[in-house]
């Protein structure tokens, strides 16, 4: 079982309490009506789906119920870090340090 | 209210489901399992900056950190998330609590939902209570400090657990999940009996 660190509870807890919630750092357009159909499609459906480090949202649904962001390696399933929603994504240097 | 608890436990029988014959009254075993008295129970969502005002209204210092639990007389409060609390009082005080928070609203916007009837509280007491819970709870409950509580899972059912001491837990279960959780607790208690017999042999 994966153990996931919740940045709100500040505890590392079993995966069963959490739910995956898609890719992180995707801002909803401020004025959706200004977007072309293609841009709106990209916002709704087009995701990066990388092999390796993936920035994603998780929700501690059966705990504090908050959403937060995580960086997970999609190959090894290792969580590099988790951080509260709204914070900037970790820099590449920070991630390299965490991956070591 | 006792009538309501028995209705919930015998729900399967009442709707004519074949599993109804399994409704369980005998919960004997190493862990004492019993219902706590019903109470007034509210969910409170409020900006943490206004928590002091809510504490004053409620008449109890509501804990600010997640897992925090406070109890004083008939009132208690459990912090579930950064802006999410359950607060408890005597059943007779329900209207008074709702009124007090309604008066607070102009000063501090918040949401107070009456969830008294949504879930039931079960008391679990005994030296092996941690073993019983470990059967179906993924969380390492030895890491949960005495005098704190949390929302977690019990056999995939979302429950609240409050750890009053190493040998005394309180579990709150939504009414509709209760027959399942009750049956799981009974099964676990029976397994502990079997362990006892095997250890003696």
Tens-place pLDDT, residues B91-100: 999 999 999 9
Q: Is the pLDDT of residue B151 over 60?
A: yes
What's the sign of the alpha-carbon dihedral B63, B68, B72, B76? positive
What are the helix (H) ranges across B123-177? 129-134
Beta strands across the sheet bearing B157-165: B32-35, B119-125, B168-174, B157-165, B148-154
Integer Cα distance of A63 and B134 in angstroms:
17
Mean pLDDT over residues B54-78, rounded?
A: 96
Quick one: pLDDT at residue B85? 97
Of B80, B138, B158, the CB nearest to A64: B80
Please report whether residue A34 resides in a domain: no
Are B46 and B58 in the same domain?
yes
Q: What is the mean pLDDT of chain A?
A: 94
Of B80, B81, B139, the CB nearest to A13: B139
Which residues in chain B have Cβ-Cβ distances shorter than 8 Å to A13?
139
User: By residue range, what is the domain housing residue B128?
Assistant: 2-37+118-200
Integer Cα distance of B174 and B116 in angstroms:
10
Q: Is B60 helix (H, G, I), strand (E, B) or coil?
A: coil
Please give, rounded to a whole number of angstroms, the shortest distance from the CA of B164 to a CA of chain A: 19
Percent of chain B having pLDDT more than 70? Answer: 91
User: SS3 for B107-138, per residue?
Assistant: CCCEEEEECCCCEEEEEEECCCHHHHHHCCCC
Smallest CA–CA distance from B155 into chain A, residue: A16
- Name which residue leads in pLDDT, B7 or B158: B158
Q: Is A13 helix (H, G, I), strand (E, B) or coil?
A: strand
Q: How many domains does chain B have?
A: 2
Mean pLDDT over residues A70-91, rounded?
A: 95
> What CATH number should be reported for the domain holding residue B66?
3.30.70.1520
What's the pLDDT band for B69 if we cut at 50, 70, 90?
very high
Q: Is the pLDDT of residue A45 over 80?
A: yes
Q: Would you call A8 and B82 a contact, using CB atoms and an 8 Å cutoff?
A: yes
Quick one: pLDDT at residue A100? 79
Distances (CA, A) of B165 to B31, B122, B151, B171: 14, 15, 17, 13
Q: How many domains does chain A have?
A: 1
Q: Would you call A14 and B84 a contact, using CB atoms and an 8 Å cutoff?
A: no
* Residue that finishes a domain, picked among B84, B114, B144: B114
ipTM: 0.87
Of A1, A9, A17, the CB nearest to B153: A17
Q: Is the pLDDT of residue A10 over 80?
A: yes
């Amino acid at each position: 079982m994966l153990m996931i660190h919740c940045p709100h509870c500040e505890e590392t807890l079993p995966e069963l309490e959490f739910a995956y919630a898609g890719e992180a750092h995707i801002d909803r357009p401020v004025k959706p009506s200004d977007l072309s159909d293609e841009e709106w499609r990209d916002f709704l459906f087009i995701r990066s789906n990388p092999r390796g480090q993936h920035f994603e949202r998780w929700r501690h649904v059966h705990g504090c119920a908050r959403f937060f962001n995580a960086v997970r390696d999609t190959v090894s399933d290792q969580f590099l870090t988790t951080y509260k929603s709204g914070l900037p994504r970790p820099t590449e240097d920070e991630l390299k340090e965490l991956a070591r | 209210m006792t009538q309501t608890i028995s209705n919930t436990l015998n729900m399967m029988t009442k709707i004519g489901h074949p599993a109804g014959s399994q409704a369980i009254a005998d919960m004997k075993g190493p862990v004492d399992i019993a219902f706590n008295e019903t109470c007034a129970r509210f969910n409170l969502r409020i900006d943490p900056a206004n928590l002091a005002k809510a504490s004053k209204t409620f008449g109890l210092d509501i804990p600010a950190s997640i897992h925090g639990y406070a109890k004083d007389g008939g009132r208690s409060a459990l912090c579930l998330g950064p802006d999410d609390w359950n607060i408890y009082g005597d059943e007779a005080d329900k209207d008074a609590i709702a009124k007090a928070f309604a008066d607070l609203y102009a000063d501090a916007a918040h949401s107070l939902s009456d969830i008294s009837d949504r879930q039931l509280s079960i008391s679990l007491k005994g030296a092996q209570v941690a073993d019983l819970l470990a059967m179906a709870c993924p969380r390492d409950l030895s890491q949960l400090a005495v005098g704190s509580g949390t929302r977690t899972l019990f056999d995939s059912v979302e429950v609240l657990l409050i750890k009053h001491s190493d040998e005394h837990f309180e579990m709150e279960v939504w009414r509709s999940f209760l027959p399942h959780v009750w049956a799981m607790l009974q099964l676990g208690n029976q397994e502990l009996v079997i362990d006892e017999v095997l250890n003696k042999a």
